[in-house]
Amino acid sequence: MASPKISDSQTSIQPKTKRKRKNYLIRNWQIYSMILPGIIFFIVFKYVPLGGIVIAFQNYNVFQGIQGSPWVGLDHFVNLFTYPDFLRILRNTILIALYQLIFGFPAPIILALLLNELRLMFVKRTLQTVLYLPHFLSWVIVGGLVITFLSPNSGIINEIIRTFGGDPIYFMQHPEYFRTIVVSSGIWKEIGWSTIIYLAALAGINPELYEAAEIDGANKFRQVWSITIPSILPVIMILLILNIGNFLELGFEQIYMLLNPFVRETGEVFDTYIYRVGLLGGQLSYTTAIGVFKSVVGLILIVGANQLSKKLTGNAIF
């Protein structure tokens, strides 16, 4: 900038920076116009609903709207824990999520390690192709398959039970089977697809590490334990953090497809309850409070898991 103008700009600093900012926007108008539709999308469909959380602090009524509905402060949140319904769905959600984490999370890691040991490329590719397939099927179809297979009249499982002289079991009507069915059908659908990211990480390991270990006399299990696992640990940790962050997000469709009134006792979770009681039953404020509770817990979990992982393994997503 030319020196004679300095005094000039000192006297009118406000308009100058404004004009500068305006110039920057004008110069980059094309870029900003590209981002703009996206920003509008996030505001309208993500942040406006976030603002809509205020109805959790009201007795919201569709006819009176947000402005006309009476405010009740934290009443819905305080009362949450006194409703037997809430405690039941909280328990169901946590149990199913826990089983999914314990059984569903390690399964694809083990499968990826086994696939990685295959030396015949043709076999490996064929198996991968088949294992990825269920991921592309909708939950409507997978739910239909599960119901067909467990059907007491014509299902294959009961056919086998009958062959061995047993009585057919009404799997879909017994609450004690529900969680097992949900967790195992989830593993069946996603186990293959979830290996992709681990296989990519496994492919990135330097083969010289194995050769050196071989010369040092390390056996295969030792190699997996001391080379393979540590090499893919960052990927495992990142996925674990994301998984824990989504702990309470069980996936509405999966549960909904398998749910029926007989198994509601053990099967109803946050999402299906919010849909049934909130949307169909009209208890909008109460179920929004449940939704807020779910999102806040999710936020705490992901931040907590992230900090813990940072401390223990040095891996973190933010």
Instruction: Write down the least CB distance from residue 104 to other proteins, Å.
Output: 15
Residue whose C-alpha is closest to residue 315's, from 247, 253, 204, 241: 241
Instruction: Name which of 100 and 195 has its Cβ closer to other proteins.
Output: 195
| 263 C-beta neighbours (distance < 10 Å), count | 21
- Which of the stretches 1-9, 11-19, 92-100, 194-202 binds other proteins when contact is defined by CB under 8 A? 194-202
Q: Is 80 within 8 Å of 89 (Cβ atoms)?
A: no
Residue 212 engages other proteins in binding (rule: CB under 8 A): no
Strand partners of residue 99? none
- Which of the stretches 1-9, 75-83, 115-123, 222-230 binds other proteins when contact is defined by CB under 8 A? 115-123
Residue 140 engages other proteins in binding (rule: CB under 8 A): yes
- The 3 state secondary structure assigned to 227-292 is HHHHHHHHHHHHHHHHHHHCCCCCCHHHHHHHCCHHHHHHHCCHHHHHHHHHHHCCCHHHHHHHHH
Strand partners of residue 71? 58
Identified binder of other proteins from the candidate list 37, 73, 217, 261, rule CB under 8 A? 37
Residue 109 engages other proteins in binding (rule: CB under 8 A): no
Instruction: Write down the least CB distance from residue 4 to other proteins, Å.
Output: 29
- Which of the stretches 5-13, 77-85, 225-233, 289-297 binds other proteins when contact is defined by CB under 8 A? 289-297
Instruction: Write down the least CB distance from residue 275 to other proteins, Å.
Output: 7
Instruction: Write down the least CB distance from residue 131 to other proteins, Å.
Output: 6
Instruction: Write down the least CB distance from residue 3 to other proteins, Å.
Output: 27
Residues that bind other proteins (rule: CB under 8 A) add up to a total of 95
- Which of the stretches 5-13, 93-101, 272-280, 308-316 binds other proteins when contact is defined by CB under 8 A? 272-280
Residue 110 engages other proteins in binding (rule: CB under 8 A): no
Identified binder of other proteins from the candidate list 275, 308, 310, 316, rule CB under 8 A? 275
Instruction: Write down the least CB distance from residue 216 to other proteins, Å.
Output: 13
What does the per-residue mask of binding to other proteins show for 66-105, with x meaning CB under 8 A? ----------------------------------------
Instruction: Write down the least CB distance from residue 60 to other proteins, Å.
Output: 9
Identified binder of other proteins from the candidate list 51, 70, 106, 314, rule CB under 8 A? 51
- Which of the stretches 3-11, 74-82, 225-233, 281-289 binds other proteins when contact is defined by CB under 8 A? 281-289
Residue 59 engages other proteins in binding (rule: CB under 8 A): no
- Which of the stretches 5-13, 68-76, 93-101, 278-286 binds other proteins when contact is defined by CB under 8 A? 278-286
